[in-house]
Structure 1
Amino acid sequence: MRNPQPPRRAVGPATTLDHVDHQLLRALSENADVTNKALAGRLGLAESTCAYRVRALREAGVITGTRAQLDLALLGCPLQAIIMVRLGSHTMANVNQLYDALAATPGVLQAFHVAGADDFYLHVAVENAEALRDFVLQYVTTHRVVRQTETHLVFEVRNGAGVLRSRT
């Protein structure tokens, strides 16, 4: 007996995701390690349909990857901070070169290029206050285009609700 597959759907900016797509994405954003069998069971889908739809979402670029969440404290980096970086020169070459360098620096969790008074926000994790000071002095202020930095300690991080609204 042949398992019929649903017709291939084009998913992109011009296509609206349906409620099943949203359910799949919400479930995967809560736990990307869930097995296809468990995901299908949770959503009341056939396993083949579930696998097909997840694969289609990946192929369409809606799901771009999965990442492990790490306990930074257990890895020896319990101190997190946001470093705001302001530039003195805003040429395209300077901005792109600095952005690449900052994002590639060990300890940077995320690098944001932002609008407003500051140009970059760096979310970093380090061993202690001295390591944070050294990070700023060795990896940030050494770039000739950096005019100013401001560092804020992070007390706690919580994941937000995300863009997928719950449908009841």
Structure 2
Amino acid sequence: MTVDTHGARPTAGVVATDQDAVLSAIAGVFGRLEAALGAKDAVAFDSVFTDDVVFINPAGEMVRNWDELHDYHQFAMRNSPDAEAHYDILAVRLLAGGHAIVNVEQTLRTPDFAVTNRGTWVFTEHDDNWWVCSVHNTNVAGSAGPPAAEPAAH
């Protein structure tokens, strides 16, 4: 028996007429998150999330709305005042109806440790803005430890 592995299999993504603008807007959300964490501004950090956000952190803890997420981030920022994050977008799939699934790798660094996690972020477009409505993060095995040395300047 021969199995057709591609014939009837749909794709999830769509091509938007304004695809570059959408990708730029989504990248801008992650830039805002990096800047807000650097400034230790939980309000700015959480400004990109919907009111009904579902957020699962790398430890598997789940929060189910903006207020819970904001409490979580305020606590985290108070207890890790020197934390910095960098997000790398690994993949973006635009979906019909103004939605996107974004796979991200985040590296979080403090003076004492660094850890990398990968996440699946679900975005929804509303009033020409892209909002995060769901996040599921998981740590990358073996990534936690002392921060890597900065590359030497040439």
Question: If the TM-score is normalised by the length of the shorter chain, which range does it land in?
Answer: under 0.3
Q: Which of the pair has more CA radius of gyration?
A: 1
**TM-score (normalised: structure 2):** 0.25
**TM-score (normalised: structure 1):** 0.24
**Larger proportion of helix:** 1
**Larger proportion of strand:** 2
